[in-house]
Amino acid sequence: MQKTILIVEDDDALRQMLVMLMQSSGFTVLEARDQPAALALLKAQTVHLALVDWMIPGGSGILLIKQLRKDDDLKHIPIIMLTAKTAEDDQIEGFDVGADDYVTKPFSNKQLLVRIKALLRRVYPENQPRLTIHNLAIDEASHRVFIDEEEVPLGPTEYKLLCFLMQRAERVFSRDQLIDHIWGNDVYIDDRTVDVHIGRLRKQLEQGGVAKMIQTVRGAGYRLSAQVKE
């Protein structure tokens, strides 16, 4: 499965060059020119790696990294800082706040790609075990879902919901809790939106009786339970 890279860079020409470089190397690309837009994309889309400039509007790359490392749903995303700041103290600060690698401008395209691919291999090893409950399995390394070993295509939000509930099977989560974990508290999402995405997830999991695992708990919210499957 193609990996998705988020490029956070306010220099339009450089950002477009990076977009073309990543796309020509087989990656899916998302782009943002400021901190709020980057954070919104990270919460709404599946991102496997982020390239983050230090100086960006609406905050800074350092502040963005700090936000990600404090967010349970986003802290796993590997980050490469891409910046003109070459001083040793700046590099130390970048690593201290949670950057996985630090590349200074100007940079070699080939070297940048080598670093990206090496970091992706380290974070998403091919032999990473699946998360499995009965005949339902999630391969978190490739973001793929299987029922009876047959792949089931899910939208990004439905995938996040399923992953979140499977990792916390048997626990009940209110709609507000799901909104906070899946969408974040920086965007307005009403309860009906949660119900719509749960409905879509159930429809996509209908085969093999798996949809019944997504249970509605009256007056409380939703849970994923293994108990309904014999």
Query: What are the structural domain ranges in the chain?
Result: 4-123, 131-224
Which residues have CB under 8 Å from 80's CB, separation 6+?
A: 49, 50, 51, 52, 99, 100, 101, 102, 103, 112, 115, 116, 119
Tell me the two tokens of residue 55. 């100086």
Residue 228 pLDDT > 70? no
Share of the chain above pLDDT 70, in %: 96
d(CA 138, CA 162): 9
- In which region does residue 76 sit, left (phi positive, over 0), alpha (psi from -120 to 50) or beta (all else)? alpha
Contact 198, 182 (CB under 8 A): no
Q: Could you tell me the fold of the domain covering 4-123?
A: Rossmann fold (3.40.50)
d(CA 53, CA 134): 43
Say if domain 131-224 classifies as CATH 1.10.10.10: yes
pLDDT digits (tens, 9 = 90+) for 29-69: 999 999 999 999 998 888 999 999 999 998 899 999 999 99
Nearest to 165 by CA among 121, 130, 215: 215
Same CATH topology for 4-123 and 131-224: the answer is no
Write down how long the chain is.
230
Residue 230 pLDDT > 60? no
Tell me the two tokens of residue 123. 């974070």
Report the DSSP beta bridge partners of residue 217: 221
Of residues 228 and 178, the one with the higher pLDDT is 178
Residue 229 pLDDT > 50? no
pLDDT digits (tens, 9 = 90+) for 80-137: 999 898 898 999 999 999 999 999 999 999 999 999 999 988 887 665 667 888 889 9
Compute how many other C-beta atoms are within 10 angstroms of the C-beta atom of residue 72.
Answer: 8
- Give me the mean pLDDT over the 196-222 stretch: 90
Distances (CA, A) of 209 to 63, 134, 166, 175: 44, 11, 16, 24
pLDDT digits (tens, 9 = 90+) for 8-20: 999 999 999 999 9
- In which region does residue 120 sit, left (phi positive, over 0), alpha (psi from -120 to 50) or beta (all else)? alpha
Share of the chain above pLDDT 90, in %: 58
